[in-house]
Chains A and B, each alone.
Chain A
Amino acid sequence: NAGVTQTPKFQVLKTGQSMTLQCAQDMNHNSMYWYRQDPGMGLRLIYYSASEGTTDKGEVPNGYNVSRLNKREFSLRLESAAPSQTSVYFCASSVRTGLHEQYFGPGTRLTVT
């Protein structure tokens, strides 16, 4: 099993450009998550999907949209990138929400200039 995979690994955008971060899991998990990690801030939840067909906002959803394409895939879109969105983005999945442990992907390092 590959676990949780993310593409791309690195990306540089100019302010105002758009892009989609891709995430896929092969563990048949129902729930998926997007986090961002900034120095000194820990990880913060952007959006999550408790199950296929549902998505909900996390702590810092502004400037992002998500799509739960199917059970395996959960994408994060930046419609108009801003320098404040420079961060490392992690996707995670779990069997269900609640107290189930979350498994994380390797991350996408995004720089917005």
Chain B
Amino acid sequence: DAKTTQPPSMDCAEGRAANLPCNHSTISGNEYVYWYRQIHSQGPQYIIHGLKNNETNEMASLIITEDRKSSTLILPHATLRDTAVYYCIVRVAGAGGTSYGKLTFGQGTILTVHP
């Protein structure tokens, strides 16, 4: 699986957009980009995923660069409840021995939303 690099921490003002970057320069053509977050003391929560097109759901938007070497998770109107560790994960399915769709969590970005 491709390695991801995220900034260790970011701050955002409440009500503003939070843009969380992720670098995955060694990503392969069959690898997807996933984002999860973990609010303190809770289990990780799925946010969004994509392959090469930009994606949007009720929680966030995912912007993937054309060369797929990096992506940005956008929380359009951050609230205090969005304070969490955000994980960018690259996943591949079905490649021998990893048919369970390995989900590898790195260190993530600690996002702190301020009032």
Contacts and interface: CB of A to CB of B under 8 A. Distances in A.
A99 B32 contact: yes
Contact of A97 (B32, B42, B44, B99): B99
A31 B101 CA distance: 11
B100 A99 contact: no
A101 B49 contact: yes
Contacts, number: 57
Q: For the complex, would chain B's binding face be called helix, strand, loop or mixed by DSSP majority?
A: loop
B44 A90 contact: yes
Given A99-B93, A106-B43, A107-B42, 17 more contacts: A4-B43, A42-B104, A42-B107, A42-B108, A45-B102, A48-B100, A50-B99, A92-B44, A97-B93, A97-B101, A98-B100, A99-B32, A101-B34, A101-B46, A101-B49, A102-B44, A105-B43
Contact of A104 (B43, B93, B101, B108): B43
**Size class of the contact patch on chain B:** 20 to 34
